[in-house]
């Protein structure tokens, strides 16, 4: 089987972000949605305007997000937009909270846990997508990068509840008390991410994947008390394959000689986070087998 190509640069600048996007050889056109986490109010690690703004403007992109299932400042669109503004996203792009006007179902094929995925209604409006993720740890998923950004990130508030409960409820109040095994949640994320990829493919809408590996905290940008980075920045990876891109990120964390890398490794494995990669591969979302192409 042919290896997926993953492009890599150690340099984390707005110019290197544009360069790595261009290396993918895909032109995102029409109405371009840039899926990025706006970050919870109080978080520190979200991708900053000065880093991502030039690429988003180059694409004439719209920042796309959905409301959160957990209680916080981003559970409703009015307050979510205030956080997006506070974090600088509205300075360089329009911001679309996609489930403001509801949600729609897309099928999950061959899922063990989910029968469907619920995603923000406005996702229909975009012709092409840039999945622009911040690589970091995550309290529930172990780590977050492109796969999490495509599953939890594109799901509506109710869709997030459905994924978090492994298909048991769409109610954001009930999902946190539903009982399931941790591995079931990890696999549910993979199923939702695959459903989004299938939907885009069926509608001839291209998507590309970039992960910025900086501010490497064990906590996610959805944590209002996000901790400081535990290890040095790694760089940026980009691919047409989200599984390969996430695998490359994880491999770099594991290969790192940084004395704090073990803290991120422990967070990932405590939550069985690496299991998302082979499971997503088994669903046909991508490959864990990749060729790293260094641009520096």
Closest CA to 268 of 162, 178, 165, 186: 186
Mean pLDDT (10-residue bins), the chain, 296 residues:
93 98 98 98 96 98 97 96 98 98 97 98 98 97 98 98 98 93 98 98 98 97 93 98 98 98 98 98 98 97
Residue written as token pair 């109610």:
171
Angstrom distance (rounded) from CA 282 to CA 123 = 26
Please write the tens of the pLDDT for every residue from 79-122: 999 999 999 999 999 999 999 999 999 999 999 999 999 999 99
pTM exceeding 0.95: yes
At residue 254, the pLDDT reads 98
Q: What angle do CA 217, 218, 221 make, to 5 degrees?
A: 65
End-to-end Cα spacing for the chain: 27
Q: What length does the chain have?
A: 296
3-state secondary structure of 66: coil
CB 157 within 8 A of CB 56: no
Question: In 3D, which of 180, 179, 224, 175 has the Cα closest to residue 69?
Answer: 175
The DSSP bridge partners found for residue 295 are none
Report which of 163, 65, 69 is spatially closest to residue 122, judged by C-alpha positions: 65
Structure tokens at 251: 């491999």
CB count within 10 Å of CB 115 equals: 11
CA distance 124 to 33: 10
In this structure, are residues 214 and 249 in contact, taking their beta carbons and an 8 Å threshold?
A: no
Q: State the Cα–Cα distance between residues 120 and 60, nearest whole angstrom.
A: 21
Please report how the helices 261-270 and 242-255 are oriented relative to each other, as an axis angle in degrees rounded to 10.
Answer: 130
Helix (H) or strand (E) segment spanning residue 8:
strand 4-9
- What are the chain's domains? 4-294 (3.40.50)
Q: What is the pLDDT of residue 1?
A: 65
Q: Please tell me the predicted confidence (pLDDT) of residue 2.
A: 83
């Amino acid at each position: 089987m042919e290896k997926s190509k993953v492009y890599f640069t150690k340099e984390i600048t707005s110019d290197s972000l544009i360069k790595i996007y261009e290396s993918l050889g895909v032109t995102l056109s029409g109405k371009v949605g840039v899926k990025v986490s706006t970050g919870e109010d109080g978080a520190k690690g979200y991708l900053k305007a000065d880093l991502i703004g030039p690429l988003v403007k180059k694409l004439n992109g719209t920042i796309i997000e959905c409301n959160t299932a957990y209680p916080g400042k981003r559970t409703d669109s009015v307050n979510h937009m205030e956080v997006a503004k506070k974090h600088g996203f509205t300075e360089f792009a329009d911001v679309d909270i996609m489930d403001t006007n509801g949600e729609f179902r897309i099928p999950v094929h061959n899922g063990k846990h989910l029968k469907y995925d619920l995603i923000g209604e406005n996702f229909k409006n975009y012709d092409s997508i840039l999945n622009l993720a911040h690589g970091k740890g995550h309290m529930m998923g172990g780590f977050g990068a492109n796969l999490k950004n495509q599953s939890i990130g594109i799901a509506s508030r109710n869709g997030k509840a459905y994924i978090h409960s492994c298909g048991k409820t769409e109610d954001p109040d009930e999902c946190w008390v539903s009982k399931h095994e941790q591995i079931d949640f990890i696999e549910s994320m993979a199923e939702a991410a695959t459903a989004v990829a299938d939907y885009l493919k069926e509608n001839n809408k291209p998507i590309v994947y970039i992960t910025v590996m900086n501010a490497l905290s064990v906590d996610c940008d959805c944590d209002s008390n996000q901790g400081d980075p535990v290890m040095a920045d790694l760089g940026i990876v980009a691919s047409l394959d989200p599984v390969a891109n996430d695998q490359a990120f994880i491999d770099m964390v594991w290969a790192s000689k940084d004395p704090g890398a073990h803290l991120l490794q422990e967070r990932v494995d405590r939550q069985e986070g690496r299991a998302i990669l082979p499971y997503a591969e088994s669903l046909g979302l991508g490959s864990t087998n990749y060729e790293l192409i260094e641009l520096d």
